[in-house]
Structure 1
Amino acid sequence: MAKDKKKNGKKAEKSVRPPIPAQDTIAESSSTKLTDLQTLMNGVEETQANPVITDKEPEVVEEPPVQDVPQYYEEPILTQVIVKSYEGEKVHGLYEGEGFAYFEGGNTYKGMFSEGLMHGQGTYTWTDGVKYEGTFVKNVQMFNGRYTWNDGSIYEGSIKNGVRHGFGFFRSGTCPVSYIGYWCKGKRHGKGTMYYDQEHTSWYSGDWVNNVKEGWGMRCYKSGNIYEGQWEKNVRHGKGRMRWLTANQEYMGQWVYGIQHGYGTHIWFLKRMPGSQYPLRNEYIGDFVNGERHGHGKFVYASGAVYDGEWVCNKKHGKGKFVFKNGHVYEGEFTDDHIVEYPAFQVDAMSAKELNAICTGSNFENIAIINGLENTSILGSDIELDISSLLDLLPREERHEELKQVEFAVLRHITELRRIYTFYSGLGCYHSLDNTFLMTKLQFWRFLKDCQFHHSNITLAEMDRILSGDKTPLEEIHCPHETLLFRTFLSYLIRLAFHIYHEGHKEKGPYLHKCFLEMMSRNVIPTACCVLFSEERCTVFAMSYIDECWEIYRAFCRPSTRPPFEPTMKMRHFLWMLNDFKLLSKQLTASKLVEILVKDGPSLHDSSSTNLELELVFLEFVEALLDCALVYVTSDMIKEQVARDNRKRSRIERLSKGTTNMSLYPEYSLSQVKLMQTNEPKEAKTEQDEEFSLWLCRVQIFFTTKFFTAYHHEKLVREKIKENKIQDAELAELRKIKDEELAKLIAGREAEEAKRQEAAAAEKTFDSKDADFKELEEPVTQFVPPPEAPTVGPPVVTKVPAGKKRKKK
């Protein structure tokens, strides 16, 4: 009996086999080795990119570097174990069912066994206090489990081969650091969010690669400053946006290892003055080198002045163009942030203090007068109307009076016009630090449509051609991102008023102001300030699709049939585009699409035909797509999308259940938050809210799952066709070369054959002539013997054979 017990004990000890060590861990019984939670996490992360400052701006106070994040424990592995004692069931001498094992060294296990191995749910505790609770598969921690360290650190989530792998949550017990997201072989890898404080005011959410921030992510610092963009080796690298809320600054553009480098936009927000005509912000758009303005760039000052030219080490240096706040322009050389020579402009247009800020001296003797107008604008030194192209149409003696009357007419409505400019410049925009914006061409189009300018036998595209200058690049004539200062907005209105109403005011006397006043009374005052879509929140949501829609719009533009032949899109092209995308359906038919295109325009069609040759500007393109979304997306599509989103959400909730109540991804951007909110099943408070939610869902489904997907597919097909054409051209060239070589070879062979044939024919001819000659020669030899030739030398003696006698002659 004693021998049997010893044998059974040895079998049991052998049956508890050691697990396979994980690749990224070291087999130590204590398992107390420490590893860094974050390499180079926050030491100089935020202060590496000090916001660029102008000479007149206060320097930005750098944030103190965040302290290094404390370390955390690795998950331990089961090492070589020997069972010292066991309590539980056995089958055929092997541990089976629920039991408790005490191992040599003090480690313990309580849970399920199968065929002598830890298999199923159980708890393994190391002597140093580390505990694992979860699933075992043949002595290896697998699937889901929970690690607890003796300092209070915990991990709960997916496990593979004893290490964190999959979705899980980790919280440090020694510092307020936590991470929720995806792991790979014990390291943060994939999408995940790390919180650096208990209040969750400092966090990073985005992509990880082997414990390093790499890819796309969003970092919110304790100060409130936010960076959203690309990362590499734990620093900002690539394209991104940094907002210094503490310094009222913002940068959007290229980064190189934490420093602004490349093309970008830097904005300095200032406190807005009540009634200010311009947003009080300085804005630079152009090239950066090592955090400084260097290369070519455009600087828009808070006063409305603009410099566009060369920069060297944050200073204007080289050739450039300076537009003063009153509209006067200087083009020439700049040196060390100053104008080399004085421009020709009026002294009254700006103060000496402002002049000295951009000029090198203080002598004003050489200052000339522009256009022969001695008085400055009655609208103020900040506004000078750019209507010289209209004044040039009038006799010189009438120009001054015309300009004066127009300025009086504008001054009469200046308050209303400023209100309109402010309203439309903020339409569809997110909240800004100073809550002020410059009007874009997209918003200007919406203003023109609201005021029904396009009902006056002139389309928005034709208006762009009228308002664009001779030096405007063709691709920028219809650009929706072009910004308009308030003075430019006023000048555009006067020029459009002249083109629309000048036929009715050609009598004697000033008539430009009459055209302007008629435009204000008929178009602007009755209908201005209508919202872009049904609600302003719809506008904000729709603006999240603008960039990709602009890419598609440009891809399907064709050269215009009118000078200057810039790229535009016609209604016919729009119809063909949707047909190529296979988005025409039972609901969105071709006739329905035509109704959408012409519904907001003038009488574009009659009872017999429809004019599809009219041009669409980008605003009309986007609005037509939004209307198509409401027709194309049916209730069945919405139900399918909601069911799909619910399955995704439930899968994530199952993974994160019991770990934490924190969200995996804090808000990446406002547009994405609004997008996610549309999928949340909430009871609408009002009927208007229900309509808005339905509109939001239809637009989201149409753009994200149909329209953009179809465009990307079409893009791939076009690229494939282009590649095939290139390959076909190369093959055709090869065939051509081979055909030429084959033709040369055949020609050579034919030439040789011809030579052979000629030689054979010549030889045959020669043989025939020789034969004829012989035939002529034979009869003569028979009847006329040839004369004997005289012999020379001694006579030839002929020997006679013996036995014969020589005959005498």
Structure 2
Amino acid sequence: GKQGEWAGLLPNTTTCCRSFSTLKDYEGEKICGLYEGEGTARFQGGNVYKGMFSEGLMHGQGTYTWADGVKYEGNFVKNLQMHHGSYTWPDGSIYDGEVKSGIRHGFGMYKCGTYPVSYIGQWVEGKRHGKGTIYYNKEGSSWYEGDFVFNVKSGWGIRCYKSGNIYEGQWERDMRHGEGRMRWLTTNQEYTGQWVNGIQHGYGTHTWYLKRIPGSQYPLRNEYVGDFVNGDRHGHGKFFFASGAMYDGQWVHNKKQGMGKLVFKNGRVYEGEFIDDHMAEYPSFQIDIMNNQDLSGIRTTSPFESIKVVDGPDSTSALGTNIEIDISTLLAIFPEENREEEIKQTEFAVLRYISELRRIYTFYSSLGYDHSLDNTFLMTKLQFWRFLKDCRFHHCNLTLADMDRILNDKTLLEEIHSPYETLLLRMFLTYLIYLSFHIYHKEFDNTSPRLFKCFCKLMVKNICPNACQIKGILFSDRQQTVYAINYIDKCWEIFRAFCRPNPVAPYEPTMKMRHFLWMLKDLRLVSKQLTATKIVNILAKDSPCVRDGEDTNLEHELVFLEFFEALLDCALLYVTDEMLKQQAEESSRSTSSFRTDEFIDPAAGPPLAQDLSSGQVSSPSGVSLAVPCPTTKTPFYFPSPPPRRLADNLESAKNEQKDKLGLWMSQIYIFFVNKFFAGYKHLEVVKETIIDNRIRHAEFLVLKKIQEAEEERCAHLTLLTEGAGVQLPGHVASMTKPLLANQSSARKHRLPSHRSGTYLSTCTLTCFRTARLAGAGTEQRELTPSRGCKPPTF
């Protein structure tokens, strides 16, 4: 928002705490000469009070009207406006809420009479302070919701502008400052990162969304990730182009400047110096990232052996210029003279099914999303796993974890099984070729073309009959998916925490079924409703290699999709009707009855509206809040008004669907939020406590050894002095005895007495020096411990 956009709209806080004038006359009841009960008091200057009195003071419910038209109606406590009340100003401004000593303090709502501005939230000493929402127009399309510090936006907040652009993040001194995200809906752009004084400054990500037709060959967006200075790309950063090309290097004021690496869409790489947005070696070469170019005159390198020549206009690939796959590792298996034929026939096979494969890619990459700003979806590993399971890849003696390892290409060990990995269409096709060979290569030994036959069999047996038929619980219902997807990030964190290193190469973190069982046991989620047998049945229902008759293989590995879907199934068994009833009672108790609709223009709609289509509650900011018992509303459209009976049937079916979805969401909420996440948090606290206790115990053992060593030293020194016949000075001897007693007492009660032990060591050293002086016939001096050796007092 702009500086001063609220300035001058609020009455001065002293208006709310005016001193009362001298009484002119009074009408009402009196007791013992004091105003008591209901009455009317008129003051000099024209002020009037009508309401309750007690012991001569305005006390209780009443209305005070000043001569200039300002009116307060509410509670009085001994002549002061207190607790709850409302102010009305002559210009139409109103305040309704909590009051302390005549000043707005607590929760309240203010509406300006001269401007279409209103505020709902917390107040401190007459100023907006704490959580609150400002509406800047009557329609409610321009607003801020978040933190205030004495009338200034500071902290975390969301600002929606009249244009529809929206910022969500940190604020300081009424400006965007800190971490935040800005979405420019008018220009289809988004920035997420650091802000300084309202400008992008620091590290961030800027994305440009492009409207495309469905099935676009460019599934990516133009995106910059790197350093910003005063709103410009400046420093080091990566620019990802929609075609798949990428620049990684230095930037100066939005231009490529300095050392950098440019990867063209065909995989060719130029690495060198850039000057004024151009390659220094080829200043006249215009970089057209979106189209294939003749790079024959450019010094480029290839990071791998491509299956086709893509460097110039003479490319003969059957797939054309827009689909590029890399099967170089597979080609190395074949004799060199057979590779060209294998490549050619494999391309023909992919080309034969390319329309079907594009449709499948689009279908699975859109799972879990309501819409896309640029009509584009990028497949994630989570969606790819669902595709593999639907097409029964895991019925071919391979687990999903095995497939991840087969397709792993120099990925960090921790990321081999990451659900967030993204796959372009060309990578999706490459993965299918690899998997087809690993699954069916034995059937086509000594035949040619081998890759072609493996891929065709995969398409005919696995993909074409089964693709796009969702079988798992996560993606089977769109509304349930949108709701459940909110829990994925936290569940991924917990999944990684319970993973253990794989005992075989590549030794990446992985989870087995027995680990899943142990996890639920540690989190105390195994119950009468959710027994170990039922958990194993959930894990084994779509895993053919888990059960062999009556035997169960708990060594089966789980990827995150299987882990998360198992948790969803567990939630439906674990949460009982009693838990649902208890949750409903708690929700009803916490619901506020404070009305806000009278302060917002009715045309703007309620400030808090329930998004029934997603089963969530949306605040004015558009931020979704998960609720225990959401409801849904599915719209029905008819070409003409239906008969009454049909309308009743449709309404009944709609309510039944709403109730089922609400019940499902309630069960998921209770299980994940109240049980699973809470149990994990408690377990982490217990682990930290155990670590602290171990550290303290180790420190205690060290102190105990020091104490024992001091005692031995003391005893040895005593024997030496007694054997030499040396008499210690009186004050030293008298001081040593109680210290020895203290050491004995500490040992008896198992208490660490390292402080007194340190003092004893110093004192015995002093005694020993004194004894040596005495035994040598040297003049004896009374030695006293320094102040630093004085025994501590407790």
For residue 620 of structure 1, the aligned residue among 539, 550, 562 is: 562
Q: Secondary structure at the match of 2:668?
A: helix
* Equivalence map 1:557-706=2 (5 Å): 557-649=499-591, 652-654=592-594, 662-663=606-607, 667=619, 672=624, 675=627, 678=630, 685-706=654-675
For residue 265 of structure 1, the aligned residue among 202, 205, 212 is: 205
Q: Secondary structure at the match of 1:267?
A: strand
Q: Secondary structure at the match of 1:167?
A: strand
CA displacement 1:447-487 (0-9 Å, x = unmatched): 111112112111111111111113x2112211211111111
* Equivalence map 1:283-294=2 (5 Å): 283-294=223-234
* Equivalence map 1:10-25=2 (5 Å): none
| 2:448 paired residue number | 509
| 1:434 paired residue number | 374
Q: Does 1:393 align with 2:333?
A: yes
Q: CA deviation at 1:253?
A: 2.8
Q: Residues 368 and 122 from structure 1, CA distance in 2 versus in 1: closer, same or farther, beyond 3 angstroms?
A: closer
Of 634-643 and 493-502, deviating more is 634-643
CA distance in 2, matches of 1:160, 1:295: 53
Q: CA deviation at 1:586?
A: 1.2
The answer (yes or no) to whether the contact 1:167–1:656 under 8 Å persists in 2 is: no
* Equivalence map 1:463-502=2 (5 Å): 463-470=403-410, 472-502=411-441
| 1:529 paired residue number | 468
| 2:683 paired residue number | 714
Q: Residues 451 and 668 from structure 1, CA distance in 2 versus in 1: closer, same or farther, beyond 3 angstroms?
A: farther
The answer (yes or no) to whether the contact 2:264–2:289 under 8 Å persists in 1 is: no
Of 554-563 and 146-155, deviating more is 554-563
For residue 494 of structure 2, the aligned residue among 540, 546, 552 is: 552
Q: Secondary structure at the match of 1:709?
A: helix
Q: Does 1:381 align with 2:350?
A: no
| 1:117 paired residue number | 57
Q: Does 1:194 align with 2:194?
A: no
Q: CA deviation at 1:272?
A: 1.0
CA distance in 2, matches of 1:702, 1:364: 62
The answer (yes or no) to whether the contact 1:387–1:491 under 8 Å persists in 2 is: yes
Q: Secondary structure at the match of 1:183?
A: strand
Q: Residues 435 and 750 from structure 1, CA distance in 2 versus in 1: closer, same or farther, beyond 3 angstroms?
A: farther
CA distance in 2, matches of 1:126, 1:277: 71
CA distance in 2, matches of 1:185, 1:545: 40
For residue 191 of structure 2, the aligned residue among 248, 251, 254 is: 251
TM value normalised by structure 2: 0.80
CA distance in 2, matches of 1:634, 1:356: 57
Q: CA deviation at 1:265?
A: 2.5
CA distance in 1, matches of 2:540, 2:260: 45
RMSD: 3.2
CA displacement 1:212-254 (0-9 Å, x = unmatched): 3233322110110011223333222333221100111012233
Q: CA deviation at 1:664?
A: 5.7
The answer (yes or no) to whether the contact 2:39–2:53 under 8 Å persists in 1 is: yes
CA distance in 1, matches of 2:596, 2:431: 57
Q: CA deviation at 1:311?
A: 4.5
Q: Does 1:728 align with 2:728?
A: no
Q: Secondary structure at the match of 1:653?
A: coil
Unaligned runs of 5+ in 1: 1-40, 45-65, 343-350, 758-809
The answer (yes or no) to whether the contact 2:266–2:324 under 8 Å persists in 1 is: yes
- Equivalent position amino acid for 2:677 in 1: F
CA distance in 2, matches of 1:585, 1:182: 44
* Equivalence map 1:125-274=2 (5 Å): 125-273=65-213
Q: Residues 182 and 512 from structure 1, CA distance in 2 versus in 1: closer, same or farther, beyond 3 angstroms?
A: same
CA distance in 1, matches of 2:250, 2:466: 43
The answer (yes or no) to whether the contact 1:337–1:358 under 8 Å persists in 2 is: no
CA distance in 2, matches of 1:358, 1:728: 67
- Equivalent position amino acid for 1:638 in 2: L
Q: Residues 336 and 425 from structure 1, CA distance in 2 versus in 1: closer, same or farther, beyond 3 angstroms?
A: farther
| 1:364 paired residue number | 297
Percent identical pairs in the alignment equals 59
The answer (yes or no) to whether the contact 1:341–1:359 under 8 Å persists in 2 is: no
Q: CA deviation at 1:202?
A: 0.1
- Equivalent position amino acid for 1:494 in 2: I
| 1:778 paired residue number | none
| 1:42 paired residue number | 2
CA distance in 1, matches of 2:64, 2:119: 24
Of 181-190 and 534-543, deviating more is 181-190
Q: CA deviation at 1:751?
A: 6.8
CA distance in 2, matches of 1:144, 1:249: 45
CA distance in 2, matches of 1:183, 1:353: 59
Unaligned runs of 5+ in 2: 310-314, 610-617, 634-650, 727-794
For residue 105 of structure 1, the aligned residue among 45, 49, 59 is: 45
Q: CA deviation at 1:264?
A: 3.1
Q: Secondary structure at the match of 2:440?
A: helix
Q: Secondary structure at the match of 1:76?
A: helix
Q: Does 1:460 align with 2:400?
A: yes
CA distance in 1, matches of 2:720, 2:228: 70
Q: CA deviation at 1:756?
A: 7.8
| Bigger RCO of structures 1 and 2 (CA < 8 A, at least 6 apart) | 1
TM value normalised by structure 1: 0.78
| 2:363 paired residue number | 423
